[in-house]
Structure 1
Amino acid sequence: MEIRDYEDVVTRLGALYEEVRGCEFYEEMFPDNECSGDSYEDYSHPNAIYLYRDMESGDAMRQRRRIMLEDTWEEDYLEYVEGNPLALCSGVAYRGRRNRLQDAQRMYALIFDLDGVGDGELSTLLRTRFGKPAEQIRSLPMPTYLVASGKGLHVYYLFDQPIDLYPSIKVQLKALKHDLTYKMWDWKGTSKIKSIQYQSIVQSFRMVGSVNEKYGNVVRAFQTGERVTLETMNEYVMDKKNRVLLDVRKMPGKTPIVVAKKKWPEWYQTRVVDGVPGMRRWDIAGKVNGKDPYALYHWFMQFAPQILVGHRYFYMMCCVIYASKCGVPYQKLREDLRKVFERLLLIEHDNNPLTERDMKSALKIYRRDFYNITLEDIERMTGLRLPRNKRNGRTREKHLQGARAIRDINNDNWRKGNGRPKGSGTAQAKVIEWRQQHPNGRKIDCERETGLSRPTVLKWWE
């Protein structure tokens, strides 16, 4: 985005609304942070957590994490946020001292990132979208704040009452945010960027008063409306199933533990009996043909040439997620991601350069938190449409049985000219003949009587 767009956005917002200083902005968003010295062992008082570039460390990439404390916030803001080239904060308060999704406890604001906004796009948003009736096409609630970030807008909805983030509520809020993101992002209407960018409910954004180092702009906030209720946000979703129901705190589809013990004994032993927390990596080596234990990871890396502007960073992040899922060593990931980064540099961009810092930032999520991220979420982040295994809920073995049956029905002479013939001396023929003679026979008996090895019998058993 050109620097002129940022200036036009700030000029229009400044003419219509009151600008808010960053220190007051976050005091308004998080009114009940702890004071220094407070300690609540029951996590009844979660706190906002922000990240900032440590300018004194001598490491240009080093970031530090800090809790936003009520009684020291003004001094902390001046020291760590104002003018900092990379200060980030989400709209969520966390238990403990880490800003991880599993530690997110209370949401104070739902924040949207809309790239590619100039004066024309902002005019469209203000005239035809924000604050219009919910039944109007592509209308949206009036935001509490609009923040000029340097290349677009950050749209803040501050809730009248913070929302407790039970696991099921997190899932519902994600659906609501994706629904409204799709509604907000209108190419050539509200954004100059064609490809929509979907983000997490705990995504951190450049803090008001900090500097966007890519463009040299100060991040500035303007109050455009009042706090909103969750009911208001629910009214504007396109699909009713994406509404957030606060009374639905139990995850849908939960299996009773007695039933789960029978259905998934391995899971029960690991998680319940042994008490092992967290998630496990995928056993890719045991589930794919060939000798590549990182086959799925290598498969995903090949999509780099298809990535569009606006998704380059998220694609690198998803490469790291696949590496986490597949147990790829960190050193190998670093070398591979370097090649991906160099390939992504060839993609045309709209004055939003991809930097070494973006690559190093993506590497920071190499951890177990992302083992179970869904394919749908990866598609939203990358803009890709990934192929599926169409088994309709069947296991691989059952799926192959059906495929072979259909093959034999459609062409009972399919093997002619394909591969080794069924001579009486082949291992396949021996297994088939033995099974015809022993319809209810066991594999072990087939091995003993034919003299074939176990792998050979398993190969031709079906």
Structure 2
Amino acid sequence: MLNDVIESYGGKKIDPLDVYKDIFRIGEGFIQKEYEESGSFKANPIAYYKNENEDHGHFRIMFEDKFEEIYRNELVNADFCVMNGITYFGAKYTSDRASKMCAMIFDIDGVTDKSLNNFFYAAFNKEFDYYPLPNYVALSGHGIHLYYVFEEPVPLFPNLKLQLKEFKYSLTEKMWNKNTSVDEKVQKQGINQPFRILGGKCKKNAPLDRVEVYRVNQHPVNIEYLNRFVPTKIEIDEKKLFKESKLTLDQAKEKYPEWYENKVLKGKRSYWTVKRDLYDWWIQQIKKEENGASYGHRYFCIMTLVIYGIKCGLSKDEIKQDAIDLIPFLNGLNKEEPFTEEDIKSALECYDERYNTFPLKDIEKLTNIRIERNKRNGRKQGVHLERARAVQMIDYPNREWINKEGAPTKQTIVQKWRLEHPNGKKIDCEKDTGLSRHTVIKWWNN
């Protein structure tokens, strides 16, 4: 029995609610209460449940002061119920609303007593140190769920979401293998994936009636620890994790009035769209026979299509259809591992305007497609720009290229950067915005 294997390694069966109290720091004011005033930027776990006699399911915001009540009265009694280790803004667990990852959860199917023993032996053996040791192990029927609880919740900013997804994929490949599972097909799941609720009902015909959970490690994990189990190129640099703004919306309104008016009141986009040519060009890059999309990078090629679609101001539906049209080509790269609409659905989680500034070098790394930069043919920048402006005036004598709505002022650029990087330095602002040091200093405190 799987539970016997867990207990042989010191695992203790515990109340599922205690796990959630640990993950979401219930009682510490980490997540929002039901009627707590807004402005503190707190978020909440989101559960989803559905009963067999219902036509549709229900999303439930797990408020701190209602958590236990909702859990005991609604979630554990539902025929189907899922939740993950992430907090969200709003009422649904969509990627664009994700706030913090409190626990990273893995699913391994086809687990036997022997394979689970193999996993624990390699995880507990400090000399071997082959698998990261989870904090909790849940038995959900024919498989296990491994819970890794972070000592400090990880903020889910756009670039970091993508890094963590690749990070989790790599860890899944590490932990799900012929020694730990009799199921040869590894199922890699994104960070937004929900799991059957602890203590809730299992699938029909499963060995267990309800999901059981065992604590095997009381020490929370961090990114540095998990980095030990992935290739160097996949590691996440903790020093570069984005720092959150501690300003409330009212404080931001007072400190950055122009940003508040444009972004909050008027709902203006914080970026310019470009011609559709970029988007169409990327589709052609994917389909190139040489140096185009390759197996192992198909998902990230579609993810980049979504990002370029955002840059060009295209709708999510249009991008989705173009991605679906690419499925036959992508399947041809490895017919034994088909690329599906579910993969496209996952990539579309990146349909968020904040991905508009996703770095070019990261796109190259993830897609394995080299993107040529514009060249100046050996000319100095000033000369090159002067020639470019001259050509521009010939092609557009009436100055049609000018943004009629006006470009953002340098003051706005500095203010926006400071809002996004509250602990940032002037030199970093210079590098990121391309503004001169004099300009940054001028508008730094204004």
Query: Is the shorter-chain TM-score for this pair beyond 0.5, marking a shared fold?
Result: yes
Contact 1:83–1:209 (8 Å) recurs in 2: no
Q: Secondary structure at the match of 1:295?
A: helix
1:244 pairs, out of 238, 244, 254, with 238
Separation in 1, partners of 2:300, 2:110: 17
> Which residue number corresponds to residue 131 of structure 1?
124
- Unmatched 5+ stretches in structure 2: 246-257, 379-385, 397-446
Inter-CA distance 206–163: structure 2 relative to 1 (3 Å threshold): same
Inter-CA distance 312–298: structure 2 relative to 1 (3 Å threshold): closer
Q: Secondary structure at the match of 1:397?
A: coil
> Which residue number corresponds to residue 145 of structure 1?
136
1:66 aligned to 2:61?
yes
2:145 pairs, out of 154, 173, 177, with 154
Q: Which structure has the bigger radius of gyration?
A: 1
Q: Secondary structure at the match of 2:120?
A: helix
> Which residue number corresponds to residue 218 of structure 2?
226
1:343-380 alpha-carbon deviations (Å, 9 max, x no partner):
8699547xxx9987777676676443544456787799
Contact 1:157–1:227 (8 Å) recurs in 2: no
Inter-CA distance 306–148: structure 2 relative to 1 (3 Å threshold): farther
1:25 pairs, out of 6, 19, 25, with 19
Contact 2:137–2:215 (8 Å) recurs in 1: yes
1:202-247 alpha-carbon deviations (Å, 9 max, x no partner):
6544433456779978654322221325498379467698463599
Separation in 2, partners of 1:112, 1:379: 28
Aligned-pair distance for 1:163? Answer: 3.6
1:116-149 alpha-carbon deviations (Å, 9 max, x no partner):
6554442222112x2333xx45434432112345
Separation in 1, partners of 2:364, 2:118: 28
Aligned-pair distance for 1:40? Answer: 3.2
1:313-345 alpha-carbon deviations (Å, 9 max, x no partner):
888777655644544434434544555568869
1:58-79 alpha-carbon deviations (Å, 9 max, x no partner):
25xx663523444353444542
Aligned-pair distance for 1:112? Answer: 3.9
Q: Secondary structure at the match of 1:143?
A: coil
> Which residue number corresponds to residue 261 of structure 1?
none
Separation in 2, partners of 1:305, 1:180: 20
Inter-CA distance 146–278: structure 2 relative to 1 (3 Å threshold): farther
Separation in 2, partners of 1:86, 1:357: 21
> Which residue number corresponds to residue 416 of structure 2?
none
> Which residue number corresponds to residue 265 of structure 1?
none
Inter-CA distance 228–366: structure 2 relative to 1 (3 Å threshold): closer
Contact 2:46–2:59 (8 Å) recurs in 1: no
Amino acid at match of 1:227: H
Amino acid at match of 2:281: A
> Which residue number corresponds to residue 381 of structure 2?
none
Q: Secondary structure at the match of 2:171?
A: helix
Contact 1:138–1:183 (8 Å) recurs in 2: no
Separation in 2, partners of 1:315, 1:443: 31
Inter-CA distance 125–72: structure 2 relative to 1 (3 Å threshold): closer
Amino acid at match of 1:147: A
Contact 1:150–1:212 (8 Å) recurs in 2: yes
Separation in 2, partners of 1:54, 1:302: 48
Amino acid at match of 1:389: I
1:145-185 alpha-carbon deviations (Å, 9 max, x no partner):
123456754321224x5447396996899499559827944
Q: What is the count of residue pairs matched by the alignment?
A: 364
> Which residue number corresponds to residue 329 of structure 1?
315
> Which residue number corresponds to residue 47 of structure 1?
44
Percent sequence identity is 21
Amino acid at match of 2:149: L
Amino acid at match of 1:142: L
Separation in 2, partners of 1:379, 1:82: 47
Separation in 2, partners of 1:334, 1:54: 31
Contact 1:168–1:248 (8 Å) recurs in 2: no
Contact 2:100–2:154 (8 Å) recurs in 1: yes
1:368 aligned to 2:353?
yes
> Which residue number corresponds to residue 428 of structure 1?
none
Aligned 1:24-423 pairs, distance under 5 A: 24-30=18-24, 31-32=26-27, 37-43=34-40, 46-53=43-50, 58-59=55-56, 64-80=59-75, 82-85=77-80, 87-89=82-84, 91-94=85-88, 97=91, 99=93, 106-114=100-108, 117-128=111-122, 130-133=123-126, 136=127, 138-148=129-139, 152-159=143-150, 161-163=151-153, 165=155, 174=164, 181=171, 184-185=174-175, 187-190=177-180, 197=188, 199-200=190-191, 204-210=194-200, 219-228=211-220, 230=222, 233=225, 236=228, 242=236, 244=238, 249=243, 280=271, 283=274, 285-287=276-278, 294-297=280-283, 299-300=285-286, 323-339=309-325, 347-348=335-336, 366-373=351-358, 385-391=367-373, 396-398=374-376, 401=377
Inter-CA distance 189–385: structure 2 relative to 1 (3 Å threshold): farther
Contact 2:301–2:367 (8 Å) recurs in 1: no
- Unmatched 5+ stretches in structure 1: 1-7, 252-269, 288-292, 403-440, 456-462
Amino acid at match of 1:49: I
